[in-house]
Amino acid sequence: MATTGRRFTIDPITRLEGHGKIEVLLDESGNVERALLQVPELRGFEKFAEGRPAEDMPQITSRICGVCPMAHHMASTKALDSLYKVDPPPAAKKIRELIYSTFMTEDHALHFYFLGGPDFVVGPQAPAAERNVLGVISKVGVEVGKRVIATRKMLRELIIAVAGKVIHPVFGLPGGVARRITREEQEQFKKAAGEAVDFAKFTLATFEEVVLHNNDYVKLILSDAYAHRTYYMGMVDQENRLNFYDGAIRVVSPEGREVARFTADQYLDYVAEHVEPWSYIKFCYLKPVGWKGFEEGGESGVYCVAPLARLNAADGFATPLAKEAWHQYFDALGGKPVHQTLANHWARVIELLYAAERMRELAMDDEITSDNIRRLPTEIPKEGFGVVEAPRGTLFHHYQTDERGVIRKANLIVATQNNAARMAMSVDKAARGLVKNGQVSEGILNMVEMAFRAYDPCHGCATHSLPGSMPLVIRLWDRNRNLVAAVRRDSNGTVRTDMPR
Amino acid sequence: MEMISLKIDGKPTQVQDGTSILAAARPLGARIPALCYHPLLKPFGACRVCVVESRGTAGFELVTACNTPCAEGMDILTDSPHVLAARRVVLELMRARWPNVSILKELAAEAGLTTPRFGSPKKDENPEACILCLRCVRVCEEVVGACAIGYEDRGMRRRVVTPFDQPSEACIACGTCTSICPTGHIKLVPEDYRGKPAEFLLGPNTAIYMPTPQAVPKVPRIDADTCIHFKTGGCQACIDVCEPGAIRHEMEDEEIEVEVGQVLVTTGFGLFDASAMASYGYGRLDNVYAALEIERMLNATGPTGGRVLTKDGRTPRAIGIIHCVGSRDENHHRYCSRVCCMYALKFAHLVKERSHAEVYNFYIDMRAFGKGYEEFYSRVMDEGVHVVRGKVAEVVQAAWTGRENGTMLIRCEDTLIGRFREIPVDMVILCNALQPDDQARKVARLFGLSRSPDGFFLERHPKLDPVATTTDGLFVAGCCQGPKDIPDSVAQSSAAAARILATISKGAVEIEPIRAEISEEDCSGCRTCNPLCPYYAIEFLAEKQVSHVNAALCKGCGTCVAACPSGAIAGHGFSDRQINAELEGILAV
Amino acid sequence: METNGKRYQPRIIGFLCNWCSYTGADLAGVSRMKSAPNLRIIRVMCSGRVDPAFVLRAFRLGADGVLVAGCHPGDCHYKQGNFKALRRAMFLKRLLREFGVDERRLRLEWISASEGERFAQVTNEFTEQLRALGPLQLAAQPEAAAAAVQEVAAQ
Amino acid sequence: MSAKPKVAFYWCASCGGCEEAVVDLAEKVLDVVAAVDIVFWPVALDFKRHDVEAMPDGSILATFINGAIRMSEQEEMAHLLRRKSVVVVAFGSCAQLGGIPGLANFWSRDTIFHRVYQESPSTRNQQGTEPALETQVNGHAVTLPVFHETVRSLNQVIDVDYFLPGCAPTPKLLAQAVETLLSGNLPPKGSVLAPDTALCDECDRRETKPDRMMIKEFHRPHQVLANQEDCLLAQGLLCMGPATRAGCEARCVQGNMPCTGCFGPTSRVTDQGSKILSAIASIIDSTDEAEVSRILDSIPDPAGTFYRYSLPVSLLGGRRPEAIPR
């Protein structure tokens, strides 16, 4: 089939600004020469931001991702603070972090129960059709399922009340927020925060019970197949404690040494993007180290973000329960840094606990109902930088404007881009481990899928798999661009290998 | 009040207490001369000419009759030797100072005085010299109430003056002082006199006057600017003399509001000011007249009684009539004023009729377009009026001395013979252009009338609807719509009146179906349209929270339709759909 | 400018107000004045009726220029309509700029009922100006135009 | 094959927010799952394009497609799903109007690529590499889908039956839409499944609008402290509400920020941007050119503001290619 190159159909892997594609390229001996993870879509926010009023950016950039719009909204709003050199009143900062923690809580919950969780809670070996939220529910009980749904709903409705909308919020403005929080709303937040903390504790307990008390799972997590010795990046406060909303960006080496600590406005000195002709996504790397290809180790600039990286980059948590869980985590995984990709799940659940706790702290603070929620900008705008920790990793916004505050140039580095290189490496590694002499082990699907899921990939950004297995097809090509095999899982969840001829 | 009995020149008489001897004596035919005395004024006793002899038990005394009240049992002699001697000396002294003042001459003669025996260091030869009777000063204070003049110093050095010898602010130029002065020493000098009949300059020269001899209604009016009463609150002398009691000073201008359904605008025209064309000398040369001034001069009741006279009262030998002054002129009005040619010919005709002057008409084109006009033109030609085809270049003063009788030269090119000509005339008549009234712009704004570039009001259609305007119920007629003569004006206004009556008799007004309508279920109550309507036709229905168009008030401009952000307003007659369809159509090819 | 040998003939849409400009155009005709045939006139009661969407649609449907003409300020038959037209035109020009459409392609003129001469002169001048600017090539959005046309038909 | 009506979901150039809106049905999502047979939902379920191709034409009752059309593969999928579906619903602002990604129509493919892959300050790309339709990797030709010159709305690519507006649509409207479709009595083709009045109709602040709303100066949201009671437009903030379809329950205004128009215009308006422009220009309180121009200066980005979501379906469509600054 000489024309197979033209014949292949585009199948959704998962949505990485469109659909993902994996191409496995074999050498003569039928062994993997290269496995590529392709992101075949681009929208170009950096360009069409030009000419827009800066104050609209929080709402425009949130459209990068409808799943974590709050992350973009917040990074952008912080970029406006710096653009107009205006420091929000304390109340405004607290309201922002309160809403952000609320969002982090519901988003992490979403991932654990709807996306990543199924792998573990239901079990990696379970048929794909069961590995979805329904599967989770049947495993942990309908009550829990209802609780998950109810908790998310409660949290998202609170966000709507304050931020206007939960999908694409509107409340962020340079120097503060647009709307006050009423006393009634504070009461609701208190109540919700309480429930959220209980929910988080329950989730952590579930995770320990279902996963950590199961040696197979622990092995799986610790298995080298999912380990990459890379740099790790995350945001920390003055005491190097993990923070989502504000602080300095800290980078640790594969050995766990702090190699960099910088603020948003210095990001260009530390982060750079590499372009490959076979994908629309750009691959981030540490500028001081440089791009050495898709390689591990201290010589390569490849680094990792999101829960795993954040815990590696920080020295602890600011809230009691999370702090405790933090120690437990590193004791169990043999100390910092943890290189096992699958540990992301555990880390994420701990972050969920922290987010809920932080939410409770802020909800208790009466200052959030203050009227002093915004300071009007007085400076002439020129350039602004904003950074937050999105659920899926560090998120940079960088704007340059004219003196009226109209965007001249915008640059965005979105969470999953930071992970793109490491993710590609996982795919490659999985493929190499599993394809030998043109023979495909069917395990490749699960393996690759697990690797993916752990990253909770959200390429640039807007990327999620909702309930169910990650749909996946892998095509193997020989040297002459003949299709050796297409491995896919079908609707019924059974794996099928199509061999041409 | 008790009466007093006394004898004057032997005649017994009775007068009221307080009456002066002079007042008591004159009715009895006693000849008591007086200079400073005036019945309207308080007695003053300055001139001493009115001395009389009063005999009493203790002999006699000489008193001034003007300010000495009668007393019970008085015995007055007005021409006794004592009196005559004393009066003669008084007059002799006055004549010594003012030898030529006529009233003094007369009195002196009367008193049998010839040349005075004395001389005076302040001798004043002026026949109209001031004799310091001070009537003027007193009338100005006592009657006029203006107190504009007074006197300074005393004895020989006394003078009648305005304050600080400056033109008096208080003077209201009523002229009372001039009329009361026995010697004609005070004169009223109008400013900027240009040798025109007074009515063109000063307006009425009395406070009560008849606007024009043919005024309608033919009643006199008070000119508040001149009337003493409106300046000083005093006088009102007229009320005493008007037997029917027709005079009301308290009457005021009032604005009367009348509610009407239709309006006919006939605000007329203004006249081009010929002085704008300096080369024609209007306002500069004495005998250059504007058309309307000549109308008055030729009027039998006009200032000259209809006679054609130059400023210095001579009958002119030659008169030039210049057409198109300001009309058909790139620099002023491009249009033709339409009436000038014919009235110019009328002037020519009347001048011929009333004088032997040669008449020259300077014209660009002779436009005798109306019924019977051409005939009139040829008739005037037959009367020997000269016509020169050519625009006058300038009018210059050719004469400098009085003997040259103010002759002027009219310089122009005679385009018919292709020659440059200079024609001497004594009088020039300018045919000013008709132009829109100064107030036309205000009127236009008031009624929402459009104006054509020349400034006259715009009719709805030049051919098909020359009396209506673009606003329903608003009509125009006469010269406010454009220059026209009387017959045309009458015709146009009659037409307009007929149009108005037609609507009135119908009793109902038809309005265009073009109108905006808001669909209640589509309206979001955003209220964008509310402030846009020039006719306040859009109201906001609070209970329904939607806006509503009052169909009777809506004129269908469609501004709200174009503005409605949710497309809830339908523009009947010019709907989006209709206009879009038009666009489709005309852009299809 | 020359296109396929023939002189380029810009297509112009003119929205004329009923009371002043349309009458002015009429007068131009009555007075036998010469004016370019490129102007295709749509009569509206008032320049205030001109919805900016009409202007954009005209461009979309192939017009190279749009003339909006109304009464002189202060003379509007509806008192203020022409001022609304003025503000819309000013705003619309700014919008056109951002779409890369030369703002001179939209022209607002005050032409009174008596200014037939001016009407002719504006028309000729505008035609020449557009000739110099050349044809308007909008971003290709045939579907959008089609959709718009459908809607018109649907109404 | 079950007798339950078949429903499909698909996404094109979008952010996933519309997907989230589905999840935000919360407990209702289970009812939907129970009521219908979801035969295609790449984000959620493991069915492939070849499964769809295998279906008989018109076998899907309704397909909800969100996202604008930017890449060639999105266009292909749209056509495929159109063939297979009785009803296609453009789901969300991007599918209905082009949405925020549609703002890219102010630029060309090249200018976007240049910015993203060459000019961006964090990009290190000496060789000037750009993603290519076909690349040789170790002698293998690896391909990418085409990045179109412009962004298009769904109905500019395929025939669309219904539109469900919003960025993102509210779960409430989504639930109603599904109900309507299942009920069988379908609204006329082309209907937008939301109220047909402007947002003011459901805005709490309508009552506070002044009788004579004329505006002397516009403020940008960050320049003033808008009070939380009065009409924002009356406070001089440019609110798209009057020109935007209702249905979102004025959420942004409840957040004390002006509406940005994501629900698109009402059925009576074709071009949302020019309509709000007309309205705004009309209520500017000045007849003096200089002053008007000063007031207009306070609106920095009319095109991007008025066509925030509807640029691809606007009458002008986007910036003239010749006029795009390189």
ipTM of the complex: 0.89
Mean pLDDT in residue range A106-118: 78
Residue A440's pLDDT is 65
Residue B198 confidence (pLDDT) above 50: no
Q: Which of B403-407, B420-424, D199-203, D314-318 has the lowest mean pLDDT?
A: B403-407
pLDDT band for position A219 (cuts 50, 70, 90): confident
Count of pairs with CB atoms under 8 A, one residue in B, one in D: 83
Mean pLDDT of B479-508: 94
Maximum separation of any 2 CA atoms in chain B, in Å: 130
- Give A358's contacts (C-beta < 8 A, 6+ positions apart): A97, A101, A244, A318, A319
Residue with the larger pLDDT of the pair C150 and A78: A78
pLDDT of residue C118: 94
Contact A151, A200 (CB under 8 A): no
Say whether residue D95 is in contact with chain C using an 8 A CB cutoff.
Answer: no
Indicate which of C46, C118, C138 best probes the interface with B, i.e. most B CBs within 10 Å of its own CB. C46
Helices (H), chain D: 17-23, 27-35, 49-54, 72-84, 93-97, 109-113, 171-183, 251-254, 272-282, 289-297, 302-306
* DSSP conformation class of D278: H
Query: Taking residues C124-139, what's their average pLDDT?
Result: 92
What pLDDT score was predicted for residue A492? 46
**pLDDT value at B406 more than 70:** no
Calculate how close chain D gets to C18, using CA atoms only, in Å: 20
Lowest mean pLDDT among A266-275, A452-461, B115-124, D178-187: A452-461
Chain C contact set for D287 (CB, 8 A): 73, 80, 83, 86
Say what the pLDDT of residue A133 is: 62
Say if the Cβ atoms of D221 and A55 lie within 8 Å.
yes
Lowest pLDDT segment from A24-33, A145-154, A167-176, A300-309? A24-33
Please give, rounded to a whole number of angstroms, the shortest distance from the CA of A282 to a CA of chain D. 8
**Is residue C4 over pLDDT 60?**
no
Is D270–C151 a contact, with Cβ atoms under 8 angstroms apart? yes
Question: In this complex, which chains have at least 3 CB pairs below 8 Å with chain D?
Answer: A, B, C
Q: Which residue of D has its CA nearest to B524?
A: D201
pLDDT score at B221: 82
CB neighbours of B369 closer than 8 A, spacing ≥ 6? Answer: none
Q: Residue B40: its pLDDT value, please? A: 80
Between CA A76 and CA A73 the distance in angstroms is 5
Average pLDDT over residues B276-295: 91
Alpha helix stretches (DSSP H) within B98-192: 102-110, 135-139, 176-180
Q: Are strands B569-572 and B434-436 parallel, antiparallel or unpaired?
A: unpaired
**B471 vs B568: which has the higher pLDDT:** B568
Of the listed ranges A281-285, B584-588, C76-80, D283-287, the one predicted with least confidence: C76-80
Confidence label for B112 from pLDDT (cuts 50, 70 and 90):
confident
**HEC profile of B261-307:** CCEEECCCEEECCHHHCHHHCECCECCEEEHHHHHHHCCCCCCCCCC
- Alpha-carbon distance of A473 to A489, in angstroms, equals 7
Provide mean pLDDT across the span D193-206: 96
Q: Quick count: other Cβ atoms within 10 Å of Cβ A311?
A: 29
Mean pLDDT across the stretch B203-223? 71
Distance (Å, whole) CA B458 – CA B471: 11
Residue C144 near chain B (CB below 8 Å): no
Q: Which two tokens stand for residue A376?
A: 């009007």
Q: Tell me the C-alpha distance between D192 and D203, whole Å.
A: 20
- Specify the higher pLDDT residue, A115 or B460: B460
Summarised one tens digit per residue, pLDDT across range A438-451 is: 666 656 666 666 67
C120: closest CA of chain D, how far (Å): 25
The subunits that touch chain A, with at least 3 C-beta pairs less than 8 Å apart, are D
Output the pLDDT for position A120. 66
CB atoms within 10 A of CB D97: 31
Q: What are phi and psi of D238, to 5 degrees?
A: -75, 100
pLDDT category at D142 given cuts 50, 70, 90 is confident
Residue B195 has pLDDT above 50, yes or no: no
CB contact under 8 A, C78 and B559: yes
Half-sphere exposure of B55 (CA within 13 A, CB side): 12
B111, B8 contact by CB (below 8 A): no
CB contact under 8 A, A277 and D132: yes
The tally of CA atoms less than 13 A away on the side-chain side of residue C5 is 0
Which of B283, B279, B293 has the alpha carbon at shortest distance from B331?
A: B279
Q: Greater confidence, A211 or B134?
A: B134
Is residue A491 over pLDDT 60?
no
Torsion of CA A199, A205, A208, A214, to 10 degrees: -110
CA-CA distance, B524 to B448, in Å (whole number)?
A: 34
pTM of the predicted model as reported, rounded to 2 decimal places: 0.75
State the average pLDDT for chain C.
87
Nearest by CB to B528, from D211, D266, D282: name it: D282
Share of chain D above pLDDT 90, in %: 71
Pairing state between β A393-401 and A407-413: antiparallel
- B509-537 per-position pLDDT tens digit: 777 789 999 999 999 999 999 999 988 89
Task: Give me the pLDDT at residue D116, please.
Answer: 93
Helix (H) or strand (E) holding B87: helix B81-97
**pLDDT tops 80 at residue B256:** yes
Which pLDDT does position A112 carry in this prediction? 80
Residue among D152, D302, D320 minimizing CB distance to C94: D302
Cα-Cα-Cα-Cα dihedral sign, residues C32, C35, C36, C37: negative
- Side-by-side strand order, sheet with D37-40: D37-40, D6-11, D60-66, D85-91, D162-164
CA dist list (Å): A89 to A70, A129, A172, B463, B575: 20, 50, 13, 74, 53
**Residue B433: per-residue pLDDT:** 96
Give the residue-averaged pLDDT of C120-124.
Answer: 96
Output the six-digit token pair for B561: 């339709």
Interface chains of chain B (3 or more CB pairs under 8 Å):
C, D
Residues of chain D contacting A405 with CB distance shorter than 8 Å: 220, 222, 300
What does chain C look like in DSSP terms, one character per residue?
A: -EETTEEP---EEEEEETTTHHHHHHHHHHTT----TTEEEEEES-GGG--HHHHHHHHHTT-SEEEEEEPPTT--TTSSHHHHHHHHHHHHHHHHHHTT--GGGEEEEE--TT-HHHHHHHHHHHHHHHHHH--------HHHHHHHHHHHHH-
Q: Between these two residues, C58 and D1, which has the higher pLDDT value?
A: C58
CA B223 to CA A304: how far, in whole Å? 103
**Inter-residue contact A40 to A19 (CB < 8 Å):** yes
- Give yes or no for residue D220 having a pLDDT over 90: yes
Given a cut of 80, whether residue D248 has pLDDT beyond it is yes
**Residue B63, CB half-sphere, CA atoms under 13 Å: how many?**
19
The interface residues of chain B toward chain C in range 514-573, judged by CB-CB distance below 8 A, are: 514, 532, 534, 555-559, 561-563, 571, 573
Instruction: Write out residues 31-90 of D within 8 Å (CB-CB) of B.
Output: none
* pLDDT at residue D326, rounded to an integer: 75
Average pLDDT over residues C145-155: 46
* pLDDT at C154 exceeding the cut of 60: no
Per-residue pLDDT tens digits for D59-118 = 999 999 999 999 888 899 999 999 999 999 999 999 999 999 999 999 999 999 999 999
Cα separation, B60 vs A289, in Å, equals 146
Q: What is the pLDDT of residue A472?
A: 55
User: In this predicted model, what pLDDT tens digit does every residue of D12-60 receive, in sequence order?
Assistant: 888 888 988 888 887 777 777 778 888 888 766 656 677 788 899 999 9
Q: Could you give the 3-state DSSP secondary structure of residue B560?
A: helix
Output the six-digit token pair for A296: 């591990």
DSSP states of D222-239 as a string? GGS---SSS-TTTTTB--
Supply B556's token pair: 């269908």
* pLDDT at residue number A12: 39
Q: Across-strand partners of A232?
A: A252, A304
Residues 266-295 of D with CB under 8 A from B: 266, 268-269, 275-276, 278-279, 282-283
Q: What is the pLDDT of residue B193?
A: 37
Q: Residue D128 corresponds to which tokens in the numbers above? A: 């000037």
Percent of chain C with pLDDT over 90: 68
Q: Of D21, D293, D248, D64, whose CA–CA distance to D162 is shortest?
A: D64
Long-range contacts of B212-219 (CB under 8 A, 24+ apart): B212/B301, B213/B299, B213/B301, B213/B302, B214/B299, B214/B301
pLDDT band of residue A372 (cuts 50, 70, 90) is very high
User: Could you give the dihedral angle defined by the CA atoms of residues C38, C42, C43 and C44, in that order, rounded to the nearest 10 degrees?
Assistant: -130
Q: Tell whether the model's pLDDT for residue B369 goes beyond 90.
A: no
What was the pLDDT predicted at A479? Answer: 65
